[in-house]
Chains A and B, each alone.
Chain A
Amino acid sequence: MLSLDGLVAVCLVYVVALFGIAFLAEKRATEGNARWLNSPFVYTLSLSIYTTAWTFYGAVGSAARSGLEFMTIYLGPTLVFVGWFWLLRKMVRIGRAQRITSIADMISSRYGKSGALAALVTVLAVIGTTPYLALQLQSVTLSFSVFADPGEFAALGTDTTAVWVAGGLALFTIIFGTRSLDVNERHPGLVSAIALEAIVKLAALLAVGIFVVWGVAEGPSDILARIEDSPISEWRSNGARWVGLTVLSAAAILCLPRMFQVLVVENAHEGHLATAAWAFPLYLLLMSLFVLPIAVVGLQVLPDGANPDLYVLTLPLAFDQEVLALLVFLGGFSSATSMVIVAALALSTMLSNHIIVPIWLRVTQGEDPMSGDMRRVALMARRLSIIGVLFLGLIYYRSSGGSVALASIGLIAFLGVAQVLPALLGGIFWRGATRAGALAGIAAGFAIWAWVLLLPNAATSGLMQGLLEQGPFGIGWLRPATPLGIQGADPLLTAMVLSLGVNTFLFMFVSLISFPSPMEWLQGAQFVNVFDHSAPTLGWQGGAAAADDLLIMAQRILGTGRAGRLFQQAAAAQGRAASLPEPNPDFLKMLERELAGSVGAATAHAMVYQITGGATVSVHDLLAVADETAQMMEHSSQLERQSSELTRTAARLREANQKLTELAEQKDTFLSQISHELRTPMTSIRAFSELLMQGEGLDEETRLKFSRIINTESLRLTRLLDDLLDLSVLEHGRVTLNESPTTLQEVLDKAEAATGVLESGGRIRIIRDRASERVDLMTDGDRLAQVFINLISNAQKYCDATTPELRIRVQRQPGRVDLEFADNGSGIPERQQSLIFEKFTRLETARDAQGAGLGLAISREIMQRLGGRLSYVPGQGGAAFRVRLPGRALRAA
C-alpha cells in the first residue's frame, strides 16, 4: 500500500507541476505568445470546474443510492450549452461589452450599477459558496484518509490536512489570481492550470471506468446485465425531482460565481462558446459514462459498510490497482482544488469590488481616490478576501464536522446561488426589470432558502435546534422542516418551489410597479439590446488583426490610396517600415483625426474603438454622435431653406421679366395708338390748310368752313395732348392735390354745370337726390369734379335710350361714401367691361369719335390718387359706375 508520505510527495510534485504550468502560461501570455491558451478547448476544459470533488466522488454514491438521478446534475448544463445561441452568447457578449468582473457586477450593472444589489449578491454568493468550499476540503481529507493507515492518519490529523490544503490553495490563488488588476480580469496562468486539472480528472474517471467494464466485468453487455441484477434496477424515477434537479443544475451553471468567472469573465473570444457548446456537453457525458457501472460493481464487490461516495477510490484499491488509485486520488484532488481556486478568486473579486473597496472609499473620504494607492488597496483587498474565504470554508468544515451534513450541501448551494437567476434572466431579456424588483426578489428568495434549507443543515445545537424544531415563537408553520405546514415533502423541491417562486413573483411584481432611474434605463438598453449596440469583440491579442481591420475601415472611408499612404507613414514613424503600424494610442489618435475629417469626430472615435476593442461605445460617444447628426441635419435643412429661397427668387424674377415684357408691349401699343390719334386730326389740318393755300377760287364761306375745321381739329389735338399730359402726370404720381373743404353737392353742381347739361335743355336728364349730397369733404374738388364730368359726359355721349336719364345716388357707408352714376341705356357689353378703363378704348357703340378714349383711364387714376376707387357695376340695366370716396376725404360735419 502506498504510504502517506509517498502520497504527500506525489501531491507536492503535482502541485509543483501546476505552479509550473501556470507560471509558463503567464509568461507566454505576457509575451503575447500563448496561442494554445487562446484555444476554444482550453476554454472548454476550464469550464470543467463545474464538476467538483462533490460530483467526482459523489456521482457514484448518488448512482448507488438513487440510480440514474445523478445524471440530472449534468443534463441541466448540457441543455444550457446546447442552447448557447439563445442565452450564453448574450451573457458573454454583455460581459465583454460591459467589462463585467463577476456575477454580482453583472446584476448590479444591469440595474443601474447599484451598490446595494452588488453587495447583496456578494453576500449571497459567499454564504452559498462557503459550505461548498468546506465540502471540497472534506473530500480531499477523506481521500487522504482512505490511503492512510489508521495510525498514521490519526497522527497527522484530518484538520491538519485541511489546513495545509486550504493554505496551499490560498497561496496558489493569490499568486495567479491577483498578480495584477488586469483590465479584462483574465488569468491565463490560472486557466491553464485548471485546464490541466480537467484533463487529469477526466482521465482518472475514464481509467477507472475502463478498468471496471473491461477489467472487472466482461465488457458492456456484462455490465448492463449486472445493472439489471443489482438493486439499482429497481430505480423508479421521480418525475418532479428529475425535472427539478435538471432545472436547478441549469440555473446553477449560469449563476454560480465560479462558473460565471470561467464562462464570461475568462472568455477570451466569443467564438469559443460555439466550440464549448458541444465540447462541454461531451466532457460531461464522458464524466458520467462510467458512473453507473462503477456504482454497480462497487455495490457487488465491496463490503456493505463501504461508503458509496468513495467507490471510485476504494474499488481500484480493492483490486490492488495502486497506480490507478493514485490517479483517481489526483483526479479528486484536481476537482477539489480547481473549484476552490476559481471560487475563491471569483468571491474575492466580488468581496473586494463590492464590499471592501466601497467601504474603504467611504472611510477614507477626502483623500484622493485617483491616486495609485487605490490599486494597491484593491489588490490587497483581493488577497485578504481569498484568505478570508478559504478561512471561512475551513471554519465551516471544522464546525460542521460530520460528513453526512456536508454531503447534501451541493444541491443546497445550487439553490442558494440560483436565487440570482430571475434577476439575471429578467435583466437580459426584459426591459421593464427594475432595481427594486431585483432587490426584492433576491432578498426574499435568499431569506426563504436560508431559513428552509441552509439553517437546518448548518445548525448543530442548542437554541438554534429548538428554534428549528418548534418554529420561531412556536409558530408551527414557520418551522423550516415543514414550511407552510407542508408535511413529508421533498425538502429540496419544497424549498426550490417556495424560494424561486416567491423570488420570481416579487421580482416581476415590484418591477411592474416601480420606476427605473435613468441610469437603470440606460443600462437596461445596453443589456437587452446588446446585439444592436456592440460589434463582436476581437481577441485580446488582436494587435495585428486590429491594424488589418483599421486599414480596411480607413480604406472604405478615405479611399485606398490615401489610407495606404497614411498607414505607411505611420509604420515608418514607428520604425516598422515593412509592416502595418502598431495600433498604439498615438497612431489611433492620428487615425481618428483623419477619419473625423470624413465622418465626424464622434463617429470616428466610435469606429476606431469598436475595432480596437479598447472600449465599447460609451453613452458619451453615442450622445456625441447624436449631436453631430443633429448638426448635420441642421446644416442640410439650412441648405434646403436656401435652395427654396433661390427658387422663390427665380420665380419672382421670371414674373418681373414677364411684367417688363408686357409693359414694353403696352408701350409699343400706346405709341402706335397715340401716333394714330395724333395723325387723324393732323391729316385733316394739313389737307384743309393746303386747300386754303392753293385754292384761289374758294369763296369766303368755304374758306371759313375750312378754317373752322382746322380750328376744331387743333382744339381736339390740344385736348388730346392735355389729356395725355394729365394722364402721364397722374400715372407717375407727380400730381399735387389741392385739398380744401367742400361738399359733395358743390362738386356735383360744378360738374353738372361744366357739362352743359343744364343750358342745352338737356339731351340727358340728371336725377339727383340733393338731400343725400350734403356730405362735407376735404379733398381736391376740381379733380373730383373732373371725374364726375367725365362720367356725366360719357352718359351724354353713349346713353342710347330714347329719353336718356342719369341717376346719381349717394350711399353713405360707415367710413366711406359711394356714388353711383347709372344711366338707362343698354349698358356696356360684358366682354368690353374689362377694357373700358384702358387707354384709347372707345366702345363700338360710340356715336362719334370726339374723345380720345382717355377719359375713364384718367378718372380712374384720379380716384386712386384721391384714395378712392372707380369701378364699373355690372347688371344694373344701363351703364353704371361707382365712385367710392374714402374715409379720409370725409370731413367731420
Chain B
Amino acid sequence: MNRRLFLERRTYRRNRLQDAARLAPVLGAFLFFGPVFILTSDTGVGGGTSGWLVYFLGVWFGLVILSAALSFAIGRVFPGEDGAWPPGDGPEGG
C-alpha cells in the first residue's frame, strides 16, 4: 500500500488516543448511570440485585482494563513529550 497520507499518521493516532482517554469517563458514566434510570421507572420492578451486582462489577472491571490499556498506549506514544513521562518505570531509571 503506497497511499499518500495527508496527515502525519503518528500524530493523528496520538491525538485520537488522547480523545479516547478523555472520553473514557463518559462511557463509564453512561454504563453506570444508564441502568438505574431503567430500574427507577414506574414499570421497573425490584429484585434482580445479584444480576445487577454482576453487571456493575463487570462494567467496573472493563473500565479498569480500558483505562490500563489507554494509559499504557499513551505512555508508549509520548516518549517524554508534552504532558508525559519517560516511558518505562519512571525517573528512578535515570
Of residues 92 through 131 on chain A, the ones whose CB sits less than 8 Å from some CB of chain B are: 93
Contact between A83 and B22 (Cβ–Cβ < 8 Å)? yes
Contact A239 B60 (CB under 8 A): no
Q: A243-B36, A269-B91, A536-B83 in contact; A82/B47 too (CB < 8 A)?
A: no
Whether the pair B82, A531 counts as a contact (CB closer than 8 A) is yes
With A79-B25, A85-B74, A234-B47: A536-B85 Cβ-Cβ less than 8 Å: yes
B residues 34-67 near A (Cβ < 8 Å) are 35-37, 39-40, 44-50, 52-54, 56-57, 60-61, 63-67
Task: Assess whether A536 is in contact with B92, with CB atoms less than 8 Å apart.
Answer: no
Choose one: A89, A281, A541; the contact of B60 (CB below 8 Å): A281
CA distance A90 to B20 in the complex (A): 17
> Complex Cα distance A237/B53, Å?
12
A35 on interface, CB distance cutoff 8 Å: yes
State how many angstroms separate the Cβ of A228 from the closest Cβ of chain B.
5
Given the known inter-chain contacts A235-B49, A272-B90, A536-B85, please indicate yes or no for A86 contacting B21, CB distance below 8 A.
Answer: yes
* Residue A342 CB within 8 A of the other chain: no
B54 contacts A548, CB within 8 Å? no
- Report the bound CA distance from A652 to B52 in whole Å: 92
Separation in Å of the A44 CB from the closest CB of chain B?
12
What CA separation (Å) do A268 and B92 show in the bound complex? Answer: 11
Known: A227-B53, A545-B94. A233 touches B33 (CB 8 A): no
Restricting to A213-244, which residues have a CB under 8 Å from any CB of B? 224-225, 227-228, 232-240, 242-243
A39 and B49 in contact (CB under 8 A), knowing A236-B40, A239-B39? no
Which chain B residues lie closer than 8 Å to A83 at the CB level?
21-22, 24-26, 28
A491 at interface (Cβ–Cβ under 8 A)?
Answer: no
Task: Determine if A38 and B90 form an interchain contact, defined as CB atoms under 8 angstroms apart.
Answer: yes
A860-890 interface (Cβ within 8 A of B): none
Contact yes or no, B57 A285, CB < 8 A: yes
User: What distance in Å separates the Cβ of B89 from its nearest Cβ neighbour in chain A?
Assistant: 8
CB of B53, distance to nearest CB on chain A (Å): 6
Cα separation A779 to B52 with both chains bound (whole Å): 120
Give A300 Cβ to nearest chain B Cβ, in Å: 14
Is there a chain B Cβ closer than 8 Å to A81's Cβ? yes
Q: Determine which residue in B46, B48, B86, B92 has the highest number of CB atoms from chain A within 10 A of its CB, and name it.
A: B92
List CB contacts (< 8 Å) of B71-92 with chain A.
Answer: 71, 74-75, 80, 82-86, 89-92
Find out whether the CB atom of B82 lies under 8 angstroms from the CB atom of A78.
no
Q: Which chain A residue lies CB-closest to B63? A: A82
- For B5, the chain A residues whose CB sits under 8 A away are none
Q: Determine whether the beta carbon of B46 is less than 8 Å from that of A234.
A: yes
CA distance in complex: A75, B36 (Å): 13
Q: Smallest CB–CB gap between A132 and chain B, Å?
A: 25
Q: From B49, B65, B75, B91, give the contact of A538 (CB < 8 A).
A: B91
User: Given that A68-B49, A68-B53, A545-B94 are known contacts, is A236 also in contact with B39, CB under 8 Å in the complex?
Assistant: yes
B7, CB-defined interface residue at 8 Å:
no
Residue contact B94 to A235, C-beta cutoff 8 Å: no
Q: Does A271 contact B (CB under 8 A)?
A: yes
- Contact check, B53 vs A270: say whether CB atoms are below 8 A apart: no
- Cβ of A781 under 8 Å from chain B: no
Asked if B91 and A67 make an inter-chain contact with CB atoms under 8 angstroms apart, the answer reads no
A78-B60, A79-B28, A93-B83 as given contacts; A239 in contact with B36, CB under 8 Å = yes
Contacts of B35 in A (CB 8 A): 237
Note all chain A residues with C-beta closer than 8 A to B91.
38, 268-269, 538-542, 545
Verify if B1 is at the interface (C-beta below 8 Å from A).
no
**Quick one: closest B residue to A35, CB to CB?**
B92
- Interface residue ranges of B17-31 to A (CB < 8 Å): 18, 21-22, 24-26, 28-29
Give the chain B neighbours of A80 by CB distance below 8 A: 25
* A86 CB → nearest B CB, Å: 5
User: Contact at B90–A282, with CB atoms within 8 Å?
Assistant: no
What B residues does A35 contact at CB under 8 A?
92
Query: A residues 45-84 with Cβ under 8 Å of B?
Result: 67-68, 71, 75, 78-84
Contact A68–B52 (Cβ < 8 Å): yes
> A275 near B: Cβ within 8 Å?
yes
Q: Which of A288-303 contact B (CB under 8 A)?
A: 289, 292
Residues of B in contact (CB 8 Å), total: 50
Residues of B within 8 A of A93 (CB): 83
Contacting pair A233 B53 (CB below 8 A): no
Write out the residue numbers on chain A whose beta carbons fall within 8 Å of the beta carbon of B80: 536
Residues of A within 8 Å of B89, CB to CB, are 39
CA distance A539 to B57 in the complex (A): 35
Q: Does A79 lie within 8 Å of B29, measured CB to CB?
A: yes
Contact call A536/B40, Cβ cutoff below 8 A: no
Interface status of A208 (Cβ within 8 A of chain B): no
A237 to chain B, nearest CB (A): 4
Q: Are B94 and A548 in contact (CB under 8 A)?
A: yes
Q: Is the CB of A536 within 8 A of B63?
A: no
Q: Chain B residues with Cβ under 8 A from A84's Cβ?
A: 21, 67
| C-alpha spacing A462/B50, complex, angstroms | 47
Chain A residues whose CB sits within 8 angstroms of the CB of B83 once the complex forms: 89, 93, 270, 531, 536
Selected contact of B22 from candidates A86, A235, A239, A275, CB within 8 Å:
A86
Question: Chain B residues near A859 (CB, 8 Å)?
Answer: none
Tell me the A515-545 residues at the B interface (CB within 8 Å): 531, 536, 538-542, 544-545
Min distance, Cβ A223 to any Cβ of chain B, angstroms: 8
Other-chain contact of A39, B39, B50, B90 (Cβ < 8 Å): B90
Tell me if A11 counts as interface (CB < 8 A to partner B): no
A541–B92 touching, CB < 8 Å: yes
Q: Nearest CB to that of B53 among chain A residues? A: A292
Q: Does A407 contact B (CB under 8 A)?
A: no
List A contacts of B24 (CB < 8 A): 82-83
A425 located at the interface, meaning its Cβ lies under 8 Å from any Cβ of chain B in the complex:
no
B92 touches A275 (CB 8 A): no
Report how far A238 CA is from B39 CA in the complex, Å. Answer: 8
Contacts of B57 in A (CB 8 A): 285, 289
A86 to B28, CA, bound (A): 14
Tell me the bound Cα distance from A268 to B91 in angstroms. Answer: 9
Is A40 engaged at the interface, CB distance under 8 Å to the other chain?
A: yes
Neighbouring B residues of A353 by C-beta, 8 Å: none
Chain A residues with CB below 8 A from B32, complex form = 75, 79, 246
What's the minimum C-beta distance from B24 to chain A, rounded to whole angstroms? 5
Cβ of A278 under 8 Å from chain B: yes
Residues of B within 8 A of A242 (CB): 33, 36
A236 touches B56 (CB 8 A): no
Tell me if A71 and B56 are in contact (CB < 8 A): yes
Nearest chain B CB to A777 CB, angstrom units: 85
The one of B33, B39, B48, B67 in contact with A81, judged by C-beta atoms closer than 8 angstroms, is: B67
CB distance from A583 to the nearest CB of B (A): 12
Contact of A277 with B by CB under 8 A: yes
Q: Which residue of A82, A531, A542 is within 8 Å of B25 (Cβ)?
A: A82
Does A566 reach chain B (CB closer than 8 Å)?
A: no
Asked whether A278 lies within 8 Å of B46 as measured between CB atoms, the reply is: no
In the bound assembly, the distance between CA atoms of A93 and B29 in angstroms comes to 25
Smallest beta-carbon distance A340→chain B, Å = 28
How many angstroms from the CA of A180 to the CA of B36 in the assembled complex? 49
Cβ contact within 8 Å between A85 and B22 = yes
A274 interfacial contact with B, CB 8 Å = yes
Nearest CB in chain B: distance from A441 CB, A: 24
- Do B71 and A237 touch (CB < 8 A)? no
Expressed in whole angstroms, the minimum distance between the Cβ of A364 and any Cβ of chain B is 41
In angstroms, Cα B53 to Cα A544, docked, is 50
Give Cα distance in the complex from A281 to B59, angstroms.
Answer: 12
Nearest 8 CB-CB pairs, A to B? Answer: A539-B91, A271-B85, A545-B94, A83-B25, A278-B68, A85-B21, A239-B40, A278-B67
A and B contact pairs by CB, cutoff 8 A, 5 listed: A86-B22, A227-B53, A278-B67, A281-B64, A545-B91
Taking Cβ atoms with an 8 Å cutoff, the residues of A that contact B are 35, 38-40, 67-68, 71, 75, 78-86, 89, 93, 224-225, 227-228, 232-240, 242-243, 246, 268-272, 274-275, 277-278, 281-282, 285, 289, 292, 531, 536, 538-542, 544-545, 548
Given contacts A227-B50, A228-B47, A536-B80, 11 further A-B contacts (CB under 8 A): A40-B90, A75-B56, A84-B21, A86-B25, A225-B50, A233-B48, A234-B49, A236-B39, A238-B40, A271-B85, A285-B61
